């Protein structure tokens, strides 16, 4: 079975690490290393043979209708269709890295973060960051509103370039370059998003990324390289199932060289959907098979336990009704840890596994003291201030701010 090309490709896409260890099992199946491969291999075989939920090339999906009769005959394997794409976690990390390119950023369209909302004199929004395992981590952030920030977000509502947003901030004491730095800072903090970021719906991001990179002379080479990866994925799809896995390794190497700072998890990098067309016009489900399926569903409804009333979803629903009634609110606002109803939020740091059970002292009053020193020069000189805050016996925090002038600190661009 392992010699069949379609099986080898499906196994590699599911677990490149396990695929690379197949020789341990083939050479010495009874050895410790061979047994370590055999156990997951048996699980993957059972998954491939007995579970219809789509998962890479292990299983696919087909379209059909509810009808009076049943016809579930699939077409030959040569008619199978596949759709390959890069993992969205990698694509998102790649776009965030490309946005830092000064020349490219100047050509992108900027808009406010789609999760942005105002609460308690601050702007709250959700940021995303890549995790070492190739996933994504979301965090709520807050930005104090300033005149410059409010005006910039308003101007960017319909989409605007970095230079256009910066030019609108220029004043006698704020240069164009300082204004550009301010707008770039909002992009870095994800208050502003670019049109390079992949969309949740619509066509895939590959064409848009390659086209955007190609329009900028400084990134045209990156655009050509990314377009070559896109075309190779299309070639894999056109070839059907049973491709040589080395073609995937070659693509991973090209992507790794594209932007070296973006890490690649080979087990997640390629996502493939398999489509199995019907042998005739359409798959149909009806008659005795449909009746048996409905009987089984009815039986499951009778024997299944109802959801627990004290579960996290029930508690969330009850708190929502108590606080908001039947109002409609943005989801980002509702699940905000500080302002909304956090889902399964721990009550305190005692819920953290690493510190659970430790005898923390009772809360006590904290005395806060502050000292500050500042210096500035006249005219166009710089303003610098440093602040130290002591918190009882728990340590000391320090911060430093700087700007073109003291007035700018209070009036315009800085958030703290």
**Residue 226: pLDDT band with limits 50, 70, 90:** very high
pLDDT at 185 over 80: yes
pLDDT, tens digit (0-9, with 9 covering 90-100), for 244-267? 999 999 999 999 999 999 989 999
H or E segment at 160? Answer: none
CA distances from 291 to 51, 64, 115 (A): 21, 17, 46
Q: How far apart are the first and last CA of the chain?
A: 62
pLDDT-derived band of residue 52, with 50, 70 and 90 as boundaries?
A: confident
The residue ranking higher by pLDDT, 368 or 62, is 62
Whose tokens are 């704020």? That residue is: 174
Which residue has tokens 């395992």?
A: 133
What residues contact 213, with CB distance under 8 A and at least 6 apart?
98, 104, 219, 220, 222, 223, 226
Cross-strand partners of 125: 141
Cα–chain-centroid distance for residue 376? 43
Of 406, 332, 397, the C-alpha closest to 370 is 397
* Nearest-angstrom CA–CA distance, 174 and 165: 13
Give the other-Cβ count within 10 Å of 280's Cβ.
Answer: 11
pLDDT at 346: 45
Which DSSP string do the residues of 352-387 spell out, in sequence order? Answer: STTTTT--PPPP----EEEEEEEEE-STT--EEEEE
Predicted local distance difference test score (pLDDT) of residue 163: 95
Phi, psi of 95 (to 5 degrees): -65, -40
pLDDT band of residue 361 (cuts 50, 70, 90) is low
Statement: residue 231 has pLDDT above 50: yes
Mean pLDDT of all residues in 282-292 = 93
φ/ψ (deg, to 5) at 69: -125, 165
Looking only at Cα atoms, what is the longest distance across the chain? Answer: 89
CA separation for the pair 385, 383 (Å, rounded): 7
Residue 371 has a pLDDT of 38
Share of the chain above pLDDT 70, in %: 81
Inform me whether the pLDDT recorded for 26 exceeds 80: yes
The sheet with strand 117-119 has its strands ordered as: 117-119, 122-130, 136-144
Q: In terms of pLDDT, which residue wins out, 169 or 343?
A: 169
How many CB atoms are closer than 10 A to CB 383? 17
SS3 237: helix
Task: Tell me the C-alpha distance between 262 and 90, whole Å.
Answer: 8
CB neighbours of residue 155 within 10 Å: 16
Above 50 in pLDDT, residue 404? no
pLDDT over threshold 70, residue 285? yes
Residue 392, sorted as left (phi over 0), alpha (psi -120 to 50) or beta, turns out to be left
Q: What span, in angstroms and rounded, lies between the C-alpha atoms of 84 and 342?
A: 36
As a whole number, mean pLDDT of residues 87-110 equals: 92
Closest of 400, 407, 342, 356 to residue 381, by C-alpha: 407
In the predicted model, is pLDDT for residue 227 greater than 50? yes
Query: Do the strands 383-391 and 122-130 form a parallel or antiparallel pair, or are they unpaired?
Result: unpaired
pLDDT per residue as tens digits for the range 102-114 = 999 999 999 999 9
pLDDT tens sequence across 123-156: 889 898 877 766 778 888 888 888 999 999 999 9
Res 385 pLDDT > 70 = no
CB 177 within 8 A of CB 190: no
Mean pLDDT, residues 61-82: 91
- Using an 8 Å Cβ cutoff, are 190 and 92 in contact? no
Q: Write the pLDDT tens digit of every residue in 288-336.
A: 999 999 999 999 988 887 766 767 788 888 889 999 999 998 888 888 8
Rounded distance, CA 227 to CA 50, Å?
A: 37
**What mean pLDDT value characterizes the chain?**
82
Q: Is the pTM of this model over 0.85?
A: no
């Amino acid at each position: 079975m392992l010699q069949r090309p379609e099986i080898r490709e499906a196994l590699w896409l599911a677990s490149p690490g396990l695929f690379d260890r197949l020789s341990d099992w083939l050479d010495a199946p009874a050895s410790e290393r061979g047994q370590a491969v055999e156990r997951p291999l048996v699980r993957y075989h059972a998954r491939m043979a007995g579970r219809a939920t789509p998962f890479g090339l292990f299983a696919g999906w087909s379209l059909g209708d509810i009808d009076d009769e049943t016809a579930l005959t699939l077409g030959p394997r040569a008619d199978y269709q596949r759709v390959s794409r890069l993992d969205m976690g990698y694509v998102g990390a790649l776009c965030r890295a490309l946005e830092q390119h000064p020349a490219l950023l100047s050509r992108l369209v900027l808009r406010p973060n789609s999760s942005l909302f105002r609460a308690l004199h601050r702007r709250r929004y959700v940021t995303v960051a890549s995790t070492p395992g190739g996933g994504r981590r979301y965090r709520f952030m807050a930005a104090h509103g300033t005149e410059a920030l409010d005006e910039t977000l308003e101007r960017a509502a319909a989409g605007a370039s970095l230079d256009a947003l910066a030019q609108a901030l220029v004043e006698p004491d704020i240069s164009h370059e300082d204004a550009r730095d301010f707008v770039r800072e909002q992009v870095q903090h994800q208050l502003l998003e670019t049109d390079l970021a992949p969309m949740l719906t619509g066509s895939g991001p590959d064409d848009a990324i390659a086209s955007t990179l190609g329009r900028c002379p400084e990134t045209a080479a990156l655009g050509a390289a990314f377009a070559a990866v896109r075309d190779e994925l299309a070639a894999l799809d056109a070839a059907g199932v049973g491709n040589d896995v080395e073609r995937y390794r070659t693509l991973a190497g090209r992507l790794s060289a594209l932007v070296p700072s973006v890490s690649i998890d080979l087990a997640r990098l390629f996502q493939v959907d398999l489509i199995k067309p019907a042998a005739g016009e359409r798959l149909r489900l009806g008659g005795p098979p449909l009746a048996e399926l409905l009987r089984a569903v009815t039986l499951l409804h009778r024997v299944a336990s109802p959801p627990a009333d004290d579960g996290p979803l029930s508690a969330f629903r009850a708190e929502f009704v108590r606080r908001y009634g039947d109002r409609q609110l943005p989801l980002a606002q509702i699940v905000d840890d500080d302002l909304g109803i956090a889902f399964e939020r721990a009550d305190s740091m005692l819920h953290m596994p690493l510190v659970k059970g430790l005898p923390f002292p009772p809360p006590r009053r904290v005395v806060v003291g502050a000292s500050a020193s500042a210096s500035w020069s006249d005219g166009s000189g710089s303003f610098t201030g440093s602040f130290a805050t002591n918190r009882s016996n728990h340590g000391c925090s320090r911060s430093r701010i700087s700007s073109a002038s003291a007035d700018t600190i209070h009036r315009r661009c800085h958030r703290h």
